Amino acid sequence: MTLVEQSAADLLKQLAAGELTSRELTQAYLDQIEQHDARVGAFLRVNAEAALKQADTIDRRRGAGEQIGVLGGLPVAVKDLLCQTGEPTTCASRMLEDFRPPYDSTVVAKLKAADAVLLGRTNMDEFAMGGSTENSAFQPTRNPWDLERSPGGSSGGAAACVAAGMAPLSIGTDTGGSIRQPSAFCGVVGMKPTYGRVSRYGLVAFASSLDQAGPISGTVADTALLLQAIAGHDPRDSTSLNAPTPDYTADVDKPLEGLRLGVVKEHFGEGLDPEVDSAVRAAIAAYEAQGAKIVELSLPHSRFAVATYYVIAPCEASSNLARYDGAHYGRRTEERAMLASLQAERKAAQEAGDADALDNIDTALVRMYRQSRSEAIGPEVKRRIMLGAYALSAGYYDAYYLKALKVRRLIRQDFDQAFEKVDMIVGPTTAGPANKLGEFADDPLGMYLLDLYTVSANLAGLPAMSLPCGATKSGMPIGLQLHAPPLEESRLLRAARMFEQSGVWKSKRCAL
Amino acid sequence: MYTTVIGLEVHVQLATKSKLFCGCSTAYGAEPNTQTCPVCIGMPGSLPVMNEEAVALAIETGLALNLQIAKFTKWDRKQYFYPDLPKGYQISQYDLPITHDGWLEIEDPKGAFEPKKIRILRAHLEEDAGKSLHDESAGKGDTLIDLNRTGTPLLEIVSEPDLRSSAEAKAYLTELRLLLTYLGVSDCNMQEGSLRVDANVNLHIPSDAAANDDNAQDGKIATPIVEIKNMNSFRAVERAIDYEADRQYREWKETGRRLGQSPKQTRGWDDAAGVTRAQRSKEESSDYRYFPDPDLAPVVISAEVVAKVRERLIELPADLRKRLVADYGLSLYDADVIVNQGRPTVDYYLTVADGSGDAKSSANWLTQDVLRTLKNRELAIEEFSIPAERLSNFVKKIGAGELPSARGREVFELMADDGLEVDAAMDKLGIAQVDDSEIESLCQELLDANPKVVADVQGGKQQAIGALIGQAKKKNPNIDPGKFRATCLALIAKG
Ligand SMILES: [Zn+2]
């Protein structure tokens, strides 16, 4: 088995034993990227020099007998949405093409403190809006299992790089399923922790009340390892939970006794791909075989989840993205040309004696905002900003935003009631396998439905994860999704590990 | 004729060391953009964290203004695009302000209006915006942004439209500023922008048209409300209100337009020209799209927190005035003069009055001589060369007749100039107490030399003694004229 096919946990053992240096390992991944990423497009930027330098430092420190952090020299890829000092943090948007944060996000700071080697920045849908990573302003990412297909989104680059053996571990963010859905499409393990478990400080906001960073990796144990490194309370994030961080890595191999598993009837309705249906049912049977009790449940408000999500997320996005105004951040339109055209418009209106038109021409400031945003923001992001601005505007607020908040509470209540009866909920991550690239080019609503099974966890703030549980006849991965009550990441990981060990499905890296 | 109806919105900068949602300094006057961090300039990914001290200062102000303190409050985003607003929204409080429904009593010691309670609708916390600096010097017309002020905590205090004249508005602002500076919650420096005022003004005009107007009350119709912005002194507020009342009356006579027939208008005050000017309708139309800030948890304010803040609440100006009138026998006018000077002057007065045992005389020396000296020398009371204990001895000496009041001012001035104790000053001026036998012999000597005066007094013209006082003072400058007069009269009566 080559280095890049091994699990992070195995590599860490070799690093700790001195059988492998971080430099050798980092170089192996850099080679893999060099060889394959031109076709996959998972990375927006790879800083080989900085990564190798960091690896050397860790090797030297280990050689000197110093204490090394929990990630002990393992390479980690980071979604291009988490601020890193001095590194471009573009959110795959032209707007932030030249943005170099003067500070580290808490996640990046924790990765550095855990002695991870920061490999590079992964591609995503612009500002994390989209379900296919085709909405990146710079490049699409392709699914390593089938280059004609999408890797999912918005953390498509983060999932694809792990699937393609270009990084053992990567950080994604999940606002409506953006870690779990691409993990399912790429056949890797991905977790959205409880809202507030991982700090949002330095995570460029899409929808603040839903965004959550989380780990993506090849195995459940590796997911536990990466979560261990990034979880914890952060006083700089008021929404961060002040709860102790359990030892995920120590607990992950302990099976759960007398597990009560909830199966939600709404997850198996119309629209579910038959191959996904049978793979998920096989997974449920594997749990049953290990002594789990299966309980049929209903989450009656889950059918409103996508609609609710597509009111709340755009509302918050319209506000969070207002700062990209051309005055303070990101791209400003070419002012000289803008002022000249403004003057020409004024002159034309004056000559035509059209007072109304004259009155309607922007001031220079308004035109600067309008034109800068218009030029630098992509169509999907614009669509959501407009949706949000509309839903928050006077006269519509109660009907949309406030109503959505009420439904959001009902969705959470459904889960609270369900978790009185079961320890965990199990079902599909997505309704089908990865779609073809370009499939949703003219069908934004179709793309929104990709989030059908994943958005509820974000609306309810629950931890949830996706792990591979099968493949279609054509060889595309199928994901199994687990939901747990708040702060029960440990339970999720242990249950996921139980499935992994059942032998029903052996996940593998794809061959490129 | 018509009634002017005024409501004021006062923005007060709270005296916290750091900003409302980050640790940056709030000190005034630093180089542009040196007091900023990723949080207050709204850098992508940054998050706000609430400043507990700002919340405590808001509660303290709320208690002093008789406001209800919310048990549950939250933060909302107020969205608009402006170059000095880096996030594209301001974090403020919309429907659940931290304090609401209170009042401030205003009273005019000269009696220009009856004492009245001005209701306060709410006082909520919000962050300040930055400052645009227009650089036209190089002929470029560039606008530069200074974000030092961005995120500074403000308390917006909104009154009900209970004020009825510019004089009442000024009294309200004066009393509010006094109260806030007493509490120390703000320095209220208008030049530095620590206190800013917007006024909502309209008129209630008696009219026959009131009969079929939904907005009319007591036979009066209301003119459309105008918000006046950009006033940078209390004087400007007074002038702007008076101007605006007159302008609205003229406009009403011309157009007959009433409340409800046109939207609320925003006008700016041009202090140099002394007029309000309409702002472009585009600039005033606003849909702020408020919604709860998802980055900040709602705030639950417990009874313990309120009790803790209440403990640090000090005696307020209105209570001090009442105490000076009731316990020290001062006129409301004198009490007002002393209290309006601020707490250090009140403390100075209390020391002088308590030490000398003569409250009235202490007030006279303070409100006349002390304040005049301070004003001439541009000093604060804390810097004054006569400490309160020393003035107390001085007043006591005059009261006991040990220092002739006629020479009091000389002594006072020497004390102020040379920083002397009262005894030392009297020594230096050669003021010695004259004993009774000495006065008696001087009286006898002068009466003997002036038989006409004696005859005049005996004939009933007591004021004739006056002619001797000048001579007596020449012979002994320490003679107390009153005592001299009384002794002479007694000697003449004895025969
Ligand atoms: Zn700051």
- Which of A101, A235, A315 has the CB atom closest to B45's CB atom? A101
The confidence score (pLDDT) of residue B137 equals 67
The confidence score (pLDDT) of residue B281 equals 62
pLDDT digits (tens, 9 = 90+) for A244-260: 999 999 999 999 999 99
Question: How far does the centroid of ligand 1 lie from the alpha carbon of residue A235, in Å?
Answer: 15
**Which region among A56-70, A107-121, B125-139, B331-345 has the lowest average model confidence (pLDDT)?**
B125-139
Place of tokens 């969205």: B79
pLDDT digits (tens, 9 = 90+) for B343-385: 999 999 999 999 999 999 999 999 999 999 999 999 999 999 9
pLDDT digits (tens, 9 = 90+) for A487-512: 999 999 999 999 999 999 988 778 88
The confidence score (pLDDT) of residue B441 equals 86
Identity of residue B346: V
Identity of residue A118: L
Question: How far does the centroid of ligand 1 lie from the alpha carbon of residue A326, in Å?
Answer: 21
Is A136 one of the catalytic residues? Answer: no
Mean pLDDT of A420-430: 98
Do residues B120 and B65 make contact, with C-beta atoms less than 8 angstroms apart?
A: yes
Choose the mutation target among A173, A195, A238 for the interface with B, i.e. most B CBs under 10 Å.
A238
Mean pLDDT of B404-414: 88
Do residues B91 and B48 make contact, with C-beta atoms less than 8 angstroms apart?
A: yes
Mean pLDDT of A81-97: 97
pLDDT digits (tens, 9 = 90+) for B4-16: 999 999 999 999 9
For residue B89, the chain A residues in CB contact (below 8 A) are 319, 322
Radius of gyration for chain A, computed over Cα atoms and rounded to the nearest angstrom: 23
d(CA A164, CA A23): 20
Is A154 one of the catalytic residues? Answer: yes
Q: Find residue B221's DSSP bridge partners.
A: B205
Chain A CB within 8 Å of residue B287 CB: yes
Chain B CB within 8 Å of residue A65 CB: no
How many alpha carbons fall within 13 Å on the CB side of residue B126? Answer: 24
Catalytic option among A79, A110, A112, A192: A79
Given an 8 Å threshold on Cβ–Cβ distance, is B44 in contact with A392?
no
Question: How far does the centroid of ligand 1 lie from the alpha carbon of residue B24, in Å?
Answer: 4
Identity of residue A104: D
Question: How far does the centroid of ligand 1 lie from the alpha carbon of residue A350, in Å?
Answer: 46
The confidence score (pLDDT) of residue B139 equals 60
Mean pLDDT of A293-304: 96
Distant-in-sequence, close-in-space partners of A64: CB < 8 Å, separation ≥ 6? none
Q: Which residue has the higher pLDDT, B98 or B489?
A: B98
Chain A CB within 8 Å of residue B212 CB: no
Whether the predicted pLDDT of B433 surpasses 60:
yes
d(CA A472, CA A188): 15
Do residues A393 and A315 make contact, with C-beta atoms less than 8 angstroms apart?
A: no
pLDDT digits (tens, 9 = 90+) for B43-85: 999 999 999 999 999 999 999 999 999 999 999 999 999 999 9
Q: How far is B88 from chain A (nearest CA, A)?
A: 5
Mean pLDDT of A295-322: 97
Question: How far does the centroid of ligand 1 lie from the alpha carbon of residue B151, in Å?
Answer: 7
Q: Please report how the helices B481-494 and B436-449 are oriented relative to each other, as an axis angle in degrees rounded to 10.
A: 60
Whether the predicted pLDDT of B284 surpasses 70:
no
Distance between first and last Cα of chain B? 72
The confidence score (pLDDT) of residue B136 equals 67
Mean pLDDT of B321-332: 96
Given an 8 Å threshold on Cβ–Cβ distance, is A328 in contact with B48?
no
Identity of residue A159: A
Question: Taking the alpha carbons of A30, A34, A37, A42 in that order, is the dihedral positive or negative?
Answer: positive
Chain A CB within 8 Å of residue B470 CB: no
pTM: 0.92
Which chain A residue has the Cα nearest residue B76?
A319
The confidence score (pLDDT) of residue B285 equals 59
Chain A CB within 8 Å of residue B434 CB: no
Is A79 one of the catalytic residues? Answer: yes
Catalytic option among A22, A154, A240, A302: A154
Q: Which residue has the higher pLDDT, B85 or B138?
A: B85
**Which region among A68-82, B34-48, B94-108, B470-484 has the lowest average model confidence (pLDDT)?**
B470-484
Instruction: Tell me the CA distances in angstroms from B113 to A83, B1, B158, B164, one per residue in order.
Output: 61, 17, 22, 10
* Number of neighbouring beta carbons within 10 Å of residue A464: 30
Largest alpha-carbon pair distance within chain B? 102
Q: Find residue A320's DSSP bridge partners.
A: none
How many alpha carbons fall within 13 Å on the CB side of residue A15? Answer: 32
**Which region among A216-230, A287-301, B425-439 has the lowest average model confidence (pLDDT)?**
B425-439
**Percent of all residues in chain A with a pLDDT value above 70, rounded to a whole number:** 100
The SS3 assignment for A388 reads helix
Q: How confident is the model at residue B99 (pLDDT cuts 50, 70, 90)?
A: very high
Q: Where are the domains positioned within chain A?
A: 325-376
Do residues A44 and A92 make contact, with C-beta atoms less than 8 angstroms apart?
A: yes
Q: How confident is the model at residue A449 (pLDDT cuts 50, 70, 90)?
A: confident
ipTM of the complex: 0.95
The confidence score (pLDDT) of residue B283 equals 52
The confidence score (pLDDT) of residue A324 equals 97
d(CA B64, CA B96): 20
**Percent of all residues in chain B with a pLDDT value above 70, rounded to a whole number:** 98
Whether the predicted pLDDT of A273 surpasses 90:
yes
Mean pLDDT of A473-493: 97
The SS3 assignment for A29 reads helix
The confidence score (pLDDT) of residue B207 equals 85
**Which region among A107-121, B133-147, B305-319 has the lowest average model confidence (pLDDT)?**
B133-147
The confidence score (pLDDT) of residue B302 equals 97
What does the mean pLDDT of chain A come to?
96
Pairing type for strands A477-483 and A464-471 reads antiparallel
Between A and B, how many residue pairs show a Cβ–Cβ distance under 8 A? Answer: 96
Chain A CB within 8 Å of residue B289 CB: yes
The SS3 assignment for B125 reads strand
What does the mean pLDDT of chain B come to?
92
The confidence score (pLDDT) of residue A428 equals 97
pLDDT digits (tens, 9 = 90+) for B20-30: 999 999 999 99
Radius of gyration for chain B, computed over Cα atoms and rounded to the nearest angstrom: 31
Chain A CB within 8 Å of residue B274 CB: no
Whether the predicted pLDDT of B129 surpasses 80:
yes
Pairing type for strands B265-270 and A477-483 reads unpaired
Which chain A residue has the Cα nearest residue B299?
A238
